[in-house]
Amino acid sequence: DEEKYKNKMRVVQVDKMEDMHEKAEEFKGCDQYFCCLGVMTSAGKEMLQKVDLEYPTAFAKLAKENNCTRFTYTSSVGASPKAWGIYMKIKGQAEEALKEIGLQNLSLIRPGLVTQRGERTRWMEKCASYVPFIAKITCLNVARAMIENSILSESAEETLENKDLLEIVKKSEL
């Protein structure tokens, strides 16, 4: 699967997100940008705001400066700026902020419970993965859906819910 895209993907590692503009040159020539940042709510509201709102917005602005053709952001099921819970609220605020940037194409990915995250699986996520009515998707399938959608989508702005992601993966060759 990876071989098909190996020479087409470039990973730019930024140790501190505050320094991402120092690596701006390395981002030039990239036409697809993926933002999968997130932090647990236990990190506190200030850190949530920084990681889930400020960094993605700054990254999207950098993508726009570099004329990216598609920006894909991993949000969350239930994201809304009017949500009661802080996590969903900040994810919703991030979606709205990204829409205002005026990117050429924007894909908002809203997975349900992300399972099979390897060492990053949390105890509550493992328990919730057994609840039949909770929308869920594996970490690998989120990635597959994001890549496949970035190649095939013709939408200028779209929000893909968990069921949409599963449908994309079902049809995927990855």
Beta-bridge partner residues of 107: 72, 158
* Mean pLDDT computed over every residue of the chain: 87
For residue range 5-41, what is the model confidence (pLDDT) as tens digits? 556 677 777 778 887 888 778 788 888 999 998 888 8
| pLDDT of 121 | 63
Rounded Cα distance, 58 and 148, in Å: 25
For residue range 123-163, what is the model confidence (pLDDT) as tens digits? 676 677 677 778 889 889 999 999 999 988 888 999 999 99
**For residue 119, what is the DSSP state?**
G
Q: What is the DSSP string of 86-144?
A: HHHHHHHHHHHHHHHHT-SSEEEEE-SEEE--GGG--HHHHHHTT-TTS-EEEHHHHHH
CB-based contact 174:141 (threshold 8 Å): no
Give the pLDDT mean for 63-92: 94
Place of tokens 């030039």: 28
| pLDDT of 77 | 93
Q: Give 26 or 81, the one with higher predicted confidence.
A: 81
